[in-house]
Amino acid sequence: MPDTPPDRSARRWRLIRDVLVFSAKVALETARDVVLFPAALIAGLLGVVAGGDRPERTFELVRGLGARFDEWLNLFGEHDENEEPGIDEQFGKLEQLLVDEYKRGGVTAQAKQAIDRALDTLQEKPPAHKAIGSGSAISDKVGKSDT
């Protein structure tokens, strides 16, 4: 049984939210890598040059910070939600703010309606005469070049 329009819209918005959150998390993970790479090299170098009895101490600190960041970021949703709050809590607050704005009928509601209309239009099947390959300029040119 096909989705009803409100159900389809809700599923689309859930997907849009999930893609945006995941993309933001991937961007943050990339920023972490850009910072962590030189920090690990510097920590290792410091440990070798001036580490004393525990040359690995600074490097372990960098690794520990990276591990805590991974738990906070929870990129793939693999960490238990009973642990310390992470970025998902921040995204939840932002989402609630947007939902509240939508319920008040503000700009968010108007934007959502416009996006829903545009997405509905994109998902409609094109008429048979506009389908690629049936009387299109491309198929006409391909057919003529074979002669």
pLDDT, position 34? 97
DSSP letters of 34-53?
HHHHHHHHHHHHHHHHH-TT
pLDDT, position 123? 73
Q: Quick check: is 79 in a domain? A: yes
pLDDT, position 44? 95
Q: Quick check: is 81 in a domain? A: yes
CA distance 147 to 143: 7
pLDDT, position 139? 47
Instruction: Give me the torsion for CA of 51, 52, 54, 60, rounded to 10°.
Output: -10
pLDDT, position 52? 87
Q: Give me the residues of the chain with pLDDT under 70, please.
A: 1-5, 79-83, 108, 125-147
CA distance 128 to 79: 48
Exposure string over 38-47, b if 16+ CB within 10 A, otherwise e: ebeeebbeeb
Task: Say how many domains are in the chain.
Answer: 1
Q: Degrees (nearest 5) of the Cα angle 85, 98, 81?
A: 20
Helices (H), 74-106: 87-103
pLDDT, position 23? 95
Q: Quick check: is 136 in a domain? A: no
Domain of 58 in residue numbering reads as 5-123
Distance of alpha carbon 68 from its chain centroid, rounded? 20
- From residue 56, alpha-carbon distances to 29, 41, 65 in Å are 24, 12, 14
